[in-house]
Structure 1
Amino acid sequence: MSSTTGQSRAEKRAAKKAAKADGGEQKQGRLAQIRDTYTMTKRADPKIGLILAASFVVGALIGFGIFFFIPGPSLLFAIPGALLFGLLATIIVFGRRAQASAYSQMEGQKGAAAAALTMLKRGWKTDPAVGFNKQQDVVHRVIGPPGIVLIGEGDSASRLRTLMVSERKKHERVLSDIPVHEVVCGRGEGEVPLPKLVKHLRKMDKQVKPAELTDVRARIKAVDARRGTVPLPKGPVPSNMKGMRQNMRGR
């Protein structure tokens, strides 16, 4: 009986030790993501350190002022309130500056739109490079509340338009009852700039109910079964967009 109890205690200690180790690894992983994001941001925004320091000071002053005038033991709450507001302001500014920096480094690179689309949250499914040609013009596909959105990026507007029309027809043959939209990512007339791409998609009218999306994804396999695959072109595209989304909640 005593040996069984001793074994049980040893197992509990081992489990607690393993859980503590996992927690430590996760914490180190988050810190590494934040450090990498800061390093990436600093390359395009050299003054980010000063900006964050100023954000903290301004936020702290606002927080101190708000809590200082609350009736009661004002100083007791003013200092923690100042720290809280300062930290919150720093996180918000860091998130926005980091995202703007990432977009500025990605813009103009092959596959930049696909990298930006990783910022879409739950309820959206992104399939990069579902259509392509020899000139490396590509069409990405997003399935979400608006229906099917084909996002094109390339060097030639006329060549890309031909590719997108071809992709649209392929999808409409299988999903004639689902809206298919076309969006060109770029700086030309009628195009959506990369920094505004995700926001543009989120603002589109919701035409497909969540319950229907599962059926759409299943039916769309018929389209994908007839095509080949292509790797996205390699280039200096930031690869930690997902980590940035998870850590920076300023947007």
Structure 2
Amino acid sequence: MFLPLGILAAFIFLTRRAERAAYSTLEGRPGAGGAVLQGLRRGWSYSEEPVAVEGGRGSHFQDAAMVFRAVGLPGVVLIGEGPTGRASKLLLAERRKVNRLTPNVPVTLYRIGTGDPNPKTGEEVVAPRDVVRKMSRLPKSLTKTEVTEVDRRLRALGAQRPPIPKGIDPTRVRSMGRGGQFR
């Protein structure tokens, strides 16, 4: 009798430890908001690509501000990441777009990172490991049919793709050097 309970307890302990390790690798990396959304349960609709991007200086995405969007029974959740000022401005701009298309739908703002919440924007500052838990505790205000309708409207808005390069990842390209020329 105690053997199955011991195995179950060990399984739960190891699962939580692996989850904590996965979230700790995400902190401070670009795209953490999209990776966190993959942990959502049924009932949420999201895209793995950001819905809004304000590029960083040069060609580096390390200091770019991004906004990810999820739609569920609690309404629309916008998750921003990047430098505090740019991420807050981008969250506000995206909130305005969402409110224009879906005026009666509640919009919740989260910013991944550290620091104080911004009272002007109404955003809440959270760690990546806390985003899914906070989203699951939001009060439900939409029906399933309303969720699909809101998601359909917002996807139509997202027809303009953000300026993210397609194809080869520029950070992983290896140079052929001088000796790599064909003869």
When normalised by structure 2's length, the TM-score is 0.77
- 2:170 and 2:110 map into 1 onto residues whose CA distance is 23
2:102 is aligned to 175
2:50–2:67 CA contact under 8 A, matched in 1? yes
Q: CA deviation at 1:226?
A: 3.5
TM alignment of 1:130-141, pairs within 5 A: 130-135=51-56, 136-141=64-69
User: Structure 1 residues 113 and 215, CA, compared in 2 at 3 Å: closer, same or farther?
Assistant: same
Match of 1:143 among 71, 78, 89: 71
For 1:129, the equivalent position in structure 2 comes to 50
Deviation at 1:149, TM superposition (A): 0.7
Among 153, 163, 167, the residue aligned to 2:81: 153
Contact 1:129 1:230 in 2 (8 A): no
Could you tell me how far 1:227 is from its partner in structure 2? 4.0
1:194 is matched with: 128
Which runs of structure 2 are paired with 1:78-117 in the superposition (5 Å)? 81-117=1-37
Q: TM-score by structure 1 length?
A: 0.57
More helix by share: 1
Deviations 1:27-74 (A, max 9, x none): xxxxxxxxxxxxxxxxxxxxxxxxxxxxxxxxxxxxxxxxxxxxxxxx
1:243 matched to which residue of 2?
none
- Residue 178 of structure 1 deviates from its aligned partner by 1.3
- Structure 1 unmatched ranges of 5 or more: 1-80, 236-251
Q: Per the alignment, do residues 90 and 234 of structure 1 end up closer, same or farther by CA in structure 2, a change over 3 Å counting?
A: farther
The whole-number CA distance in structure 2 between the counterparts of 1:113 and 1:221 is 18
Greater relative contact order (Cα 8 A, min sep 6): structure 1 or 2? Answer: 1
- Alpha-carbon RMSD across the aligned residues, in angstroms, is 2.0
Cα distance change, pair 211–111 in 1 and its aligned pair in 2 (3 A):
same
1:147 and 1:213 map into 2 onto residues whose CA distance is: 7
Shift of residue 231, structure 1, vs aligned partner? 6.0
1:165 aligns with 2:92: yes
- Alpha-carbon distance between aligned partners in 1 of 2:148 and 2:28, rounded to the nearest angstrom: 33
Tell me how far apart the structure 2 counterparts of residues 143 and 204 of structure 1 sit (CA, whole Å).
12
Percent identical among aligned pairs is 35
